């Protein structure tokens, strides 16, 4: 079979590999669509594992089933999740599924930028495979994993109906946060980015107003939000400038959700005295659990969140390198979908 082997953001090669052999508890899935995540193109994070076949936002058809697998059959249309928590460790039982050791060790064989993927038994048993509902396309199925992460993030942030929400960074994760906040009844939703294309995309996704992130964000936010800063600020840009801005834009009693990591070694100053009297919460979020995955699936199925309008590029496997350059360049692309069977 063909795979897209990642060496760096500017060197992704289509190579030949063996179709994975499945064990008694595994599934073999023919990949029909695979999304390029922003983290795939986060070169400092990926380069240390290169060469590697990446891709974790996948949807496809089951073509082989291990003899011990229950609940799945050849021909099923599925989305598979690469990272799954165990559900029973200290961290899972306290609700911190992203901190689970199992979640940090599970993965596909190989990644989703390939014609076929083996989904291991542990992923299946821990809720990492979802049948696509009738009417849901493979492309929509690739959004289940990223939407589940956004669902979990807004749970962590404690979003309530009527809250004002400010999303800093209007790439794919930021736009999904905007769509979900609107679906959950946020009062006002605001957005910022440095890219005019993405500022317009934020408005198209439901933001009440959007601005260039290099402007005076606190002053603009107060003018747009009846004199107040935001109840919830969600940082979807991996820059220290965005993170510093978030601390200036959160209102009293509010929460800052750091949804994106910074570059290695970057730190930002935090004044505890500014946080302490104002009951400001700083929190983070990473992956989703089985409940978040189920909710994401239903949000997409019911069209509470539309996702196909976020797809800007559909590319065959041979153009995976172009897909990485588009995502890394962050110019006029939002979601890039790779179609390995083309």
Distance of CA 316 to the CA centre of its chain: 22
Residue 293 lies in a domain: no
User: Bridge partners of 339?
Assistant: 316
What is the rounded CA–CA span in Å between residue 110 and residue 5? 10
- 68 to 87, 124, 126, 155, 161: CA distances (angstroms): 21, 11, 15, 35, 44
15 and 129 together in one domain:
yes
pLDDT at 157: 97
Structural domain contains residue 300: no
d(CA 3, CA 239): 32
154 and 137, same domain (yes or no): no
- Here the CATH number for the domain that contains residue 125 is 3.90.180.10
Specify the number of domains making up the chain: 2
Pairwise CA distance, residues 320 & 323, whole Å: 5
Residue 290 domain flag: no
Residue 83: CB partners within 8 Å, gap ≥ 6?
A: 56, 103, 104, 106, 107, 128, 287
Got the DSSP string for 144-199?
HHHHHHHHHHHHHHT--TT-EEEEE--SHHHHHHHHHHHHTT-SEEEEEES-HHHH
Do 7 and 139 fall into the same domain? yes
Tell me the pLDDT tens digit for each residue of 192-235: 999 999 999 999 999 999 999 999 999 999 999 999 999 999 99
Q: How high is the pLDDT of residue 263?
A: 85
Q: Using N-to-C axis directions, what is the helix angle for 196-204 and 172-183, rounded to 10°?
A: 20
Which candidate, 135, 126, 182, 150, places its Cα nearest to that of 57?
Answer: 150
Same domain, 7 and 137: yes
Do 47 and 8 contact (CB within 8 A), yes or no?
Answer: yes
Q: Does one domain contain both 188 and 70?
A: no
Domain membership flag for residue 295: no
| 277 and 193 part of one domain | yes
Same-domain pairing of 156 and 216: yes
pLDDT in tens, 104-114: 899 999 999 99
Say if 271 falls within a structural domain: yes
Burial zone of 269 (CB within 10 Å; 0-12 exposed, 13-18 middle, 19+ buried): exposed
- Is residue 192, in this structure, part of any structural domain at all? yes
* CATH code at position 275: 3.40.50.720
Domain that holds residue 187: 149-284
Contact between residue 214 and residue 198 where contact means Cβ atoms under 8 Å apart: no
Taking only the tens place, the pLDDT of each residue in 136-145 is 999 999 999 9
Does residue 96 sit in helix, strand or coil? coil
| 108 and 171 assigned to the same domain | no
Side-chain-side CA neighbours of residue 77 (13 Å): 13
| 256 shares a domain with 322 | no
| Domain co-membership, 44 together with 121 | yes
Query: Does 301 reside within a domain?
Result: no
Burial class (CB in 10 A: 0-12, 13-18, 19+), 161: exposed
Half-sphere exposure of 316 (CA within 13 A, CB side): 5
134 and 217 belong to one structural domain: no
- Asked whether residue 315 is assigned to any structural domain, the reply reads yes
Please indicate, yes or no, whether residues 193 and 280 belong to a single structural domain of this protein.
Answer: yes
pLDDT by 10s per residue, the chain, length 342? 999 999 999 999 999 999 999 999 999 999 999 999 999 988 988 988 999 999 999 999 999 999 999 999 999 999 999 999 999 999 999 999 999 999 989 999 999 999 999 999 999 999 999 999 999 999 999 999 999 999 999 999 999 999 999 999 999 999 999 999 999 999 999 999 999 999 999 999 999 999 999 999 999 999 999 999 999 999 999 999 999 999 999 999 999 999 999 888 888 899 899 889 999 999 999 899 999 999 999 999 999 999 999 999 999 999 999 999 999 998 899 999 999 998
What pLDDT shows up at residue 127?
Answer: 92
């Amino acid at each position: 079979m063909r795979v897209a082997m990642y060496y760096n953001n500017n060197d992704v090669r289509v190579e030949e590999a063996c179709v994975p052999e499945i064990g008694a508890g595994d599934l073999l899935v023919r990949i029909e669509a695979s999304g390029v995540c922003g983290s795939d193109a986060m070169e400092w994070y990926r380069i240390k594992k290169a060469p590697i076949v990446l891709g974790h936002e996948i949807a496809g058809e089951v073509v082989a089933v291990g003899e011990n697998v229950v609940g799945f059959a050849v021909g099923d249309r599925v989305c598979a999740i690469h990272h799954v928590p165990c559900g029973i460790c200290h961290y899972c039982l306290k609700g911190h599924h992203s901190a689970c050791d199992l979640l940090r060790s599970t993965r596909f064989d190989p990644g989703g930028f390939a014609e076929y993927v083996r989904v291991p038994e542990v992923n299946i048993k821990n809720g990492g495979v979802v049948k696509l509902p009738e009417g849901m396309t493979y492309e929509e199925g690739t959004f289940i994993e990223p939407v589940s992460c956004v669902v979990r993030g807004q749970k962590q942030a404690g979003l309530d109906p009527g809250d004002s929400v400010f999303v800093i960074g209007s790439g794919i994760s930021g736009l999904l946060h905007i769509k979900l906040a609107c679906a959950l009844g946020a009062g006002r939703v605001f957005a910022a980015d440095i890219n005019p294309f993405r500022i317009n995309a934020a408005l198209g996704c439901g933001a009440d107003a959007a601005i260039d992130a290099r402007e005076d964000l606190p002053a603009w936010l107060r003018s747009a939000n009846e004199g107040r800063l935001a109840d919830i600020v969600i940082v979807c840009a991996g820059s220290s400038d965005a993170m510093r801005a978030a601390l200036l834009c959160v209102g009293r009693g509010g929460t800052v959700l750091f949804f994106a990591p910074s570059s290695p070694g970057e730190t930002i100053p935090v004044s505890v005295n500014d946080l302490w009297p104002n009951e400001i919460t700083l929190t983070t979020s990473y992956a989703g659990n089985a409940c978040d995955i189920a909710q994401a699936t239903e949000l997409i199925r019911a069209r509470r969140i539309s996702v196909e309008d976020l797809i800007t590029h559909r590319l065959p496997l041979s153009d995976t390198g172009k897909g990485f350059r588009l995502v890394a360049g962050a110019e006029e692309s939002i979601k890039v979908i790779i179609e390995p069977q083309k």
